[in-house]
Structure 1
Amino acid sequence: MGGPDAAAAVWTEDGWLAYLYRPGVVLARDEHWRDVAELLGAERVGGERSQQLRGLTVLTVPIDDQTETLGHLTRVDLELGVGIATPDHIMFVTPGGCGQCCPATEPEELDGAVAPYPPITSDTGAGTGVFVSVVDTGWWPAAATDPATPWLAGVTGDPETIDLNHIHPYAGHGTFIAGVVRNQAPAAQIRVEGFLPLGGAAYESEMVIQLGEALALSPDIISLSAGCPTREELPLLSFEVFWEQRLSHQKGTILVAAAGNDSHRLPFWPAAFPWTVSVGALDADGKRADYSNYGSWVDVYALGTDLVNAFPTGTFYCHQPPNEGEKREFTGLAKWSGTSFSTPLVSGLIAARMSQHGISARIAADELLAEARVAGRRGVGPVLEPNN
């Protein structure tokens, strides 16, 4: 699937990316769409995909330029109420923020680093009977049979298309994440869904359809290392409806979501929802990583810096300064940093706790978060350490 075919950006006064959205499109709950359509002269988007949204309506609004979309939303705020209609935000493996990316670094060569890192837990049965859905860029099938990554045997997913002579940004992201889960839960069943295409971006309206498809397979844990900031810092309307219509009715299943890498405390969605397990990142010294978002909406922090796991064998050219244009060669493994990777570490710990005690993901997560609060560190917050 391709990435968003249209995008518009809103910037802060100090030059940071505030959020991205789909020009000419707004979202509304089913009970409000007629009022919004009448006010704005908007038209409802039909078709099979829209019917899968369950409670959410996509509307096209008349615009002569991209910024008119926001003008329409301001009018809705004033005449119908704040949050009645919202942008169709663009969710990223790469969140906004002054060129900084999630992962917080581009993939790096090992340079003697031990693989995998964190090491695989000694409890080889951890995760038995647990199904983890990784919603990400897709799955690199060669990793399942590569002698360098035996811990990925049996993982499945939507194959990711990768040019090994010129590995694109975020390629292998989902495979790396699956490896991090397996390090903590070696016996877990993992499927990597290819819902984030080249460029690692998707409209929120499309993302919740894809999450619904993942949920239809009845996973215990959904691990999502993508998200976005939003207009007026309001919750993602599509995810509010997804929770109400779908996820809240699937008892025990949880969504573990990355807190993002913008180095600030502003909410990053969907991690900021109270029904998710939101994960920030720690450095190797146990301090909060300087790239990690933080604040009272972050549930827990876990190691996210310099993790080592599976990566496609091939050539990668850096896209981010100060290394832009640098050539890097990989042979099945890479070192990577970001809340993208602290998130599956926590997902793996939840899976391990589930199998250890025969409990649901929700109960396992609650137990681990309670322990994380007891182990909390000044200046950081609740923390979880990898299993040994």
Structure 2
Amino acid sequence: MAEKPAGKSRSIQQIQTDHAVRALGGADEVGVRRDGETGEIQYLYRKGCILVREEAVPHVRSILDRYEESVRGRRDYGDRDRDDRTDPPPARERDRIEQVVNGVRLVWLRGLETHDALDLVREGNEEFDIPGLGAGWAAPDHAVHIAGDAGHCPATEPEPIGPGGAPYPPMSADPAAGAGVKVVVVDTGLDTELTANPFWMRGVTGERDPLVRPGRVLDPYAGHGTFIAGLVRAMAPRAEVHVLSLFARGGATWESTLVQNLDRAVAAEYPDVISMSAGTRAYAGGLLAFKVWGEERLRHHKGIALVVAAGNDGDRTFFWPAAAPFTVSVGALGTDWRSRAEFSNFGGWVDVYAPGTDLVNAFPDGKFTYQEPPNIPPTLPQARVETFAGLAMWSGTSFSTPIVAGMIAARMSRTGENGRDAAAALLAQARAQAVPGVGAVLLP
């Protein structure tokens, strides 16, 4: 396998994986799926359960029950002279199934490892004459993280910018851009107590970012949602921007939980555009709950544009949900705005590239302790600590994404198009000005 040109080193990936595992409940709750040949981390998943399409739940439950009964019968036959043969579990344990959203259920397992259960559902079992259902009916409950597959979005840790700085890319020349349009940012939340509140952040609302701790101590990923909201506002100064705190557990959440919260947000917030800078690599076929939500729920809400980060692995591997056809997937450009950023994912599934390197915008004031090389030992004697004063410089497809979301909002207010139509028009424009060797490009 060719070496990635600019993906983060495995040490950084492991650091971010460890952080996500702790945030989601520890090794008892979180599984780590690795590539069988390279050992590279592919994705994190929730142990002890699988996601299943609603119409397949009876068949999946039957497959799992038949397998369990066959294994128990074989074991008990071998021990038929013993008095401690196993009894089937009680019905309440055997039938633990939870609704996620319409069209998908969370099925809890008894004893089987998650991927063993998925193999059984897909392929069946010849020994016990149990037929499988084939692909596409069940998948893990993935961990979705603003650091991607447990390490890759944002591409860097933030750098402090002194007070009095200006946003980069600069504010839109049209002060009315985004008027009448609502953008919902799905992220860590908003720092609602910004001491140095830049003028372009006035009127931005949202749920508090819990990663900004008392005493203005900044945890990893603190300010991620605030920075993104600022980028939307730079592109669309009059847009109504509301930030949700859906990645409050160390920047991570379960796919099933995220889809439930997105469903509620669409119903309660009435967004025109949703900006989400999070994702993961995934089991074959992508994120099942997201796919079903797109099929059964999102498509029934006319005109919403879902804009999602393409991830920062520096390769063409699918990154979900950005690779899903119902999203606008955004990669990052380098500092010259003519080349692809080395960290950005790429490929035919990436819809458009926008500035995503060394961007400057609003960030919580407070003290941040760096977590990743080269800002920690052994490169430095001790971890670097910086005090931020309201602005930061940051890189990643996390930040090219709100650039595009803001440009969609700006076009909506100018043309009267809905979110999806405005997105389609901007993508056509981006393809018309495509950069050879990069792809479709949108510039502020």
Deviation of 1:95 (Å):
1.4
Structure 2 residue aligned with 1:141: 192
Residue 73 (1) aligns with residue 125 (2)? no
C-alpha separation between the residues in 1 aligned to 2:271 and 2:33?
35
> Residues of 1 paired with 2:341 and 2:165: CA distance?
21
Query: Could you tell me how far apart the structure 2 residues matched to 1:243 and 1:358 are?
Result: 24
Task: Report the equivalent of 2:88.
Answer: none
Per-residue deviation, residues 184-222 of structure 1 (Å, max 9, x unmatched): 000000110110013111110001001011101210001
Tell me which residue corresponds to 2:209: 160
> Kindly tell me: are residues 172 and 147 of structure 1, through their superposed partners in 2, closer, same or farther at Cα, counting changes over 3 Å?
closer
Amino acid at match of 1:22: R
Partner of 2:58: 34
Task: Specify the structure having the higher radius of gyration (Cα).
Answer: 2
Percent sequence identity over matched residues? 48
> Deviation at 1:52?
5.5
How many Å separate the matches in 2 of 1:85 and 1:148? 46
Q: 1:11-30, aligned counterparts within 5 Å?
A: 11-12=34-35, 13-30=37-54
Q: Does the CA contact (< 8 Å) of 1:280 and 1:343 recur in 2?
A: yes
Shift of 1:40: 1.5
> Does 2:392 align with 1:334?
yes
Match of 1:9 in 2: 32
Structure 1 unaligned segments of length 5 or more: list them.
Answer: none
| 1:151 partnered with 2:217 | no
Deviation digits for residues 41-64 of structure 1 (CA, Å, limit 9, x no counterpart) = 384545xxx445111110111227
Residue among 285, 289, 293 paired with 2:345: 293
Give the aligned partner of residue 108 of structure 1.
Answer: 159
Residues in 2 aligned to 1:57 and 1:70: alpha-carbon distance in whole angstroms: 17
What are the Cα deviations for residues 11-57 of structure 1, in whole angstroms up to 9, with x where unaligned? 223342111111111000110011111212384545xxx44511111
1:377 aligns with 2:422: no
Paired residue secondary structure (2:159): coil
Mapped contact 1:92–1:228 kept (Cα < 8 A): yes
Q: 1:364 aligns with which of 407, 416, 422?
A: 422
TM-score by length of 2: 0.81
Question: 1:115 is paired with a residue of what secondary structure?
Answer: coil
What are the residue-to-residue correspondences of 1:300-315 with 2, within 5 Å?
300-315=352-367
Please say if residues 181 and 272 of structure 2, whose CA atoms lie closer than 8 Å, have aligned partners that are also in contact: yes
Letter in 1 for 2:204: V
Gap regions ≥5 residues in structure 2: 1-21, 66-92, 124-131, 377-382
Q: Equivalences for 1:236-251 in 2 at 5 Å?
A: 236-251=287-302
Instruction: Give, in whole Å, the separation in 1 of the partners of 2:178 and 2:406.
Output: 8
* Cα offsets for 1:115-137 (capped at 9, x unmatched): 21111111010000000010110
1:227, 1:268 within 8 Å by CA — same for their partners in 2? yes
User: 2:145 corresponds to which letter in structure 1?
Assistant: F
Match for residue 56 of structure 1? Answer: 104
Instruction: Specify the alignment match of 1:351 in structure 2.
Output: 409
The 3-state SS of whatever aligns with 1:141 is coil
Tell me how far apart the structure 2 counterparts of residues 330 and 44 of structure 1 sit (CA, whole Å): 51
Note if contact 1:3-1:197 (Cα within 8 Å) is conserved in structure 2: no
Deviation at 1:165, TM superposition (A): 4.7
Residues 45 and 57, structure 1, Cα contact 8 Å, conserved in 2: no
Q: 1:194 to 1:45 in 2, by over 3 A?
A: farther
Whether the 8 Å CA contact 1:113–1:308 is kept in 2: the answer is no
Which of 315, 322, 347 does residue 374 from structure 2 map onto? 322
Instruction: Out of 4-13 and 106-115, give the one that drifted further.
Output: 106-115
Specify the code of the residue in structure 2 equivalent to 1:80.
Answer: L
Partners of 2:100 and 2:106 within 8 A in 1:
no
Q: How many residues are matched?
A: 374
RMSD across aligned C-alpha pairs, in angstroms? 1.8
Cα drift, residue 263 of structure 1: 0.8
How far off is 1:235 after superposition? 2.1
1:220 aligns with 2:275: no
- In structure 1, how many angstroms separate the alpha carbons of the residues matched to 2:60 and 2:335? 50
| Distance (whole Å) between structure 2 residues aligned to residue 154 and residue 44 of structure 1 | 48
Task: After superposition, give the CA deviation of every residue in 1:98-131 in whole Å (9 maximum; x if it has no partner).
Answer: xx43110011122799521111111010000000
The amino acid of 1:382's aligned partner reads: A
Structure 1 residue ranges (4+ consecutive) displaced by more than 6 angstroms after TM superposition = none
Find 2:149's aligned residue among 82, 96, 111. 96
Q: Residue 352 and residue 96 in structure 1: after superposition, are their counterparts in 2 closer, same or farther (change >3 A)? A: same
Give the counterpart letter for 1:69 in structure 2: T
Deviation at 1:382, TM superposition (A): 0.3
**TM-score relative to the length of structure 1:** 0.93
